Amino acid sequence: MSAEAMTLFSPELAARFDALVERYPVRRSALIPMLLYAQDEVGYLSDAVIDEVARRIGITPLDVRNVATYYSMLRFVPAGRYNIQVCTNISCMLRGGYRIFEQFQERLGIGHKGVTADGVFSLEEVECIGACCWAPAIQVNYDFHDELTEEQVDAILDEYRSRSQKAGSR
């Protein structure tokens, strides 16, 4: 069983990984970015992903898990295709972050860390995302949406829903 034959990674991801590990003075330095990229591709860090990353870096799966569970962006269960992360930290809170969060909850019918039944959306209340001066702010996957108003919530949901449909029908 060669590593190639067993891989869960797409050829691009595998190539990215191979390039990454070689750049650092120590292979292991690639671990954290790699986990994030693998999660972007697979959706979450399944046991199989963890085993594969461990094997590619040359450390134990336990060691990978020790590290992965430390970082809050990494997850071990699937999220929705679009993960809505609402900041409610102080600067956002002062400008209505909680109201935005509530609105997403109402519209999607899910709470913190929930996933919609169709798997399109998931919702998370997150800590400061570095957009304090443009509060309230959210991130949908990696995209920022700044200076949100309550009216924009529906528009954002519609936009991603239609993107999802397009992606789904492809």
Q: Which stretch binds another protein (CB under 8 A): 11-19, 72-80, 114-122, 155-163?
A: 72-80
Q: Does 62 bind another protein (CB under 8 A)?
A: yes
CB 36 within 8 A of CB 72: no
User: By C-alpha distance, which of 88, 86, 95, 97 is closest to 157?
Assistant: 86
List all residues 6 or more positions away from 30 whose beta carbon is below 8 Å from its beta carbon.
17, 20, 21, 23, 24, 57
- Closer residue to another protein (CB): 60 or 165: 60
Nearest distance from C-beta of residue 44 to another protein, angstroms: 13
Taking residues 114 to 143 in sequence order and writing x for each that binds another protein by CB under 8 A, - otherwise, the string is: -----------x-xxxxxxxxx---x--xx
Size of the site for another protein (CB under 8 A): 53
CB 87 within 8 A of CB 73: no
Q: Which stretch binds another protein (CB under 8 A): 4-12, 114-122, 144-152, 159-167?
A: 144-152
Q: Does 42 bind another protein (CB under 8 A)?
A: no
List Cα–Cα distances, 15 to 18, 30, 52, 56, in angstroms.
5, 13, 14, 12
The first and second tokens of residue 56, run together, are: 């590619």
Among 22, 72, 166, 169, binds another protein (CB under 8 A): 72
Site for another protein in 82-111 (CB under 8 A): 88-91, 93-95, 98-99, 102
Strand pairing class (121-126; 82-87) = parallel
Q: In what order do the strands lie in the sheet with 143-145?
A: 121-126, 82-87, 138-140, 143-145
Nearest distance from C-beta of residue 106 to another protein, angstroms: 11
Q: Where are the beta strands (DSSP E) in 9-129?
A: 82-87, 121-126
- Closer residue to another protein (CB): 133 or 169: 133
Binding site for another protein (CB under 8 A): 23-26, 28-33, 35-36, 57, 60-63, 65-67, 69-74, 88-91, 93-95, 98-99, 102, 112, 125, 127-135, 139, 142-144, 146-147
